[in-house]
Each structure stands twice: as structure tokens, then as C-alpha cells.
């Protein structure tokens, strides 16, 4: 990629800010009389287009939080390391540690992202898995037998339910 001139680079940066090619050209130092045509011409130059796209991607990635950053923030909230401003009838108080409610909420959000060994959660998952197997089996049998096999379907379902209860 060829190097951009200072004027071209300034044009690109101004265009990224405003999205207006004519204004960007004027601010970059091009003549106001030719700013409209120069602006459009610059947007069609491959090296300028590539520079603008690259900068937009950089800006986008800087603005969007990654998973690690989110987890670190939630952890700091949960630990009470974050503060907030609180407005009351007596005024606004700054640098107040986050509330217990917010800390609990952050802890819950963190736990959603990590599997637990809670026996109740395992049991719920097991039941959901069994229910899904039963529904799938019912659909397969109904598809094979059509409307005539309701009795056979009920018999099979009862058998599957009793097997899943044994586990």
C-alpha cells in the first residue's frame, strides 16, 4: 500500500469523524470550490479506502469490550472495587462503593458463565435431557407409524419414561 500524503491522511481522519466528504476535504486543506469533487474522488481511491476501513476497524475494536474485559469488570464489581455516584435528597455523593445488590447481581452474572457442581443443577439438566429424548422418540415413532399407532406410541412412551426414572 502506498503511503498517503499528509493532506490525504487528514482527509481520511476528518471523513471518519464526520462522514461528510466535502467537509473533510475542506478541513484537510483542499479548496472549498473543489472540495465536493475532491472528496468524492478521494473516497474512490483504493489506498484511501483501505486506510479508512483499517481505521474504522481499529476504532470499532477499541470500543467493544471483549469477554475477558467483561469478566474482569464483573469480578471487580462483585469484590466491591467499583464505586458509583449516589443522588439523595441531601445531595450527590461520589465514590460510594457499589451496593450489595449490585455485587450479588455481578456474582450471578459471573456464575452463569461457569459450570457449577450443584447437585440440583445437575438433576435439572438430567431431567431436561430425558425430556428432550422422550420428545424426540415420540416424534420419530409418530412419523413412522402415522395416525394408526397411538396405542403403540403410548406404550413406547411409558417404557421410555420408566427407563428414565430408573436412571
Distances (CA, A) of 8 to 11, 27, 96, 104, 132: 5, 11, 48, 52, 60
Per-residue confidence band for 34, with pLDDT thresholds at 50, 70 and 90: very high
Characterise 45 by phi-psi region: left (phi > 0), alpha (psi -120 to 50), beta (else).
Answer: beta
Q: Angle between the 67-78 and 100-112 helix axes, to the nearest 10 degrees? A: 140
| pLDDT of res. 126 | 80
Q: Does the pTM exceed 0.75?
A: no
Return the DSSP state at 152.
H
Domain 6-63: CATH architecture, name and number where available: Orthogonal Bundle (1.10)
The answer to whether the CB of 98 falls within 8 A of the CB of 82 is yes
pLDDT, tens digit, 9 for 90 and up, residues 71-122: 889 899 989 899 988 888 888 889 888 888 888 888 888 887 776 667 777 7
Residues in contact with 119: Cβ distance below 8 Å, sequence separation at least 6, in sequence order: none
Q: Report pLDDT for 142.
A: 67
pLDDT at 1 over 60: no
Q: Say whether pLDDT at 158 is over 80.
A: no
Which range, 31-40, 52-61, 64-73, has the best average confidence (pLDDT)? Answer: 31-40
User: Over the stretch 113-129, which tens digit does the pLDDT of each residue have?
Assistant: 776 667 777 787 788 77
Amino acid at each position: 500500500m502506498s503511503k498517503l500524503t499528509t493532506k490525504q491522511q487528514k482527509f481520511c481522519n476528518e471523513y471518519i469523524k464526520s462522514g461528510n466528504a466535502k467537509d473533510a476535504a475542506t478541513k484537510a486543506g483542499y479548496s472549498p470550490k473543489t472540495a465536493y469533487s475532491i472528496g468524492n474522488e478521494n473516497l474512490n481511491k483504493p489506498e484511501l479506502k483501505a486506510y479508512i476501513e483499517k481505521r474504522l476497524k481499529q476504532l470499532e475494536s477499541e470500543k467493544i469490550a471483549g469477554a475477558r474485559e467483561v469478566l474482569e469488570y464483573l469480578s471487580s464489581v462483585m469484590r466491591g472495587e467499583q464505586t458509583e455516584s449516589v443522588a439523595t435528597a441531601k445531595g450527590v455523593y461520589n465514590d460510594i462503593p457499589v451496593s450489595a445488590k449490585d455485587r450479588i447481581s455481578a456474582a450471578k452474572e459471573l456464575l452463569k458463565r461457569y459450570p457449577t457442581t450443584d447437585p440440583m443443577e445437575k438433576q435439572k439438566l438430567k431431567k431436561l435431557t430425558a425430556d428432550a429424548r422422550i420428545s424426540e422418540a415420540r416424534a420419530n415413532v409418530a412419523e413412522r407409524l402415522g395416525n394408526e399407532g397411538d396405542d403403540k406410541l403410548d406404550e413406547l412412551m411409558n417404557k421410555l419414561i420408566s427407563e428414565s426414572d430408573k436412571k
